[in-house]
Amino acid sequence: MIYTKTITTPANRLIASPLQSRILLTKGFIYKVEFDFPPGGGGLHHLVVLEGGFQLWPSTLGETFHPDGYCISFDDSYLMDSSPYELTAYTWSPGTSYDHEVQVRIGLVTEEIYQARFLPSVALDLWKSMLQKQQAIKEAQTNMIIENPFPWLRR
């Protein structure tokens, strides 16, 4: 799944009062991240993304993403496993005369899909385990029918 959030930062928004934008997600693994800055920001439109109070991107404290006409795109492996499943983007654009946009895109998959895609040997073990559980359930259901084939006749 790809989650998208387009953030419009008002003109001359100062770092002292950044725009806070919630990015709602679900439980799973973040495997891909993109920040698309259209041309025109002149490097003055800044973005930082946090989970709770922890700065995720960029990872260097005190740094921001602030390109002009560039899409920052990278692979990542970050587990979103505790509620609330959301990130907070902080943006600001001091010294600007126009609003500026950035589109945030987050690729997120479930643990099972992540394992199947990125850890195929682990996924095989998971798949075998799931098949064994399904087989045990089917055997239990079959045994119940064999022991009592006509439950409606016993009252």
User: Over 70: is that where the pLDDT of 59 sits?
Assistant: yes
* pTM of the complete model: 0.75
Model pLDDT for residues 66-116, shown as the tens digit of each residue: 999 999 999 998 999 889 999 999 999 999 999 999 999 999 998 777 767
- Which CATH number, 3.40.50, 2.60.120, 3.20.20, 3.30.70, labels domain 2-115? 2.60.120
Q: Which residues contact 68 (CB under 8 A, 6 or more apart)?
A: 37, 39, 40, 41, 42, 43, 45
User: Over 90: is that where the pLDDT of 33 sits?
Assistant: yes
- Return d(Cα 89, Cα 26) in angstroms, integer: 16
User: Over 70: is that where the pLDDT of 14 sits?
Assistant: yes
The ranges assigned to domains in the chain are: 2-115, 119-150
CA distances in angstroms from 10 to 41, 93, 118, listed in the order given:
12, 8, 39
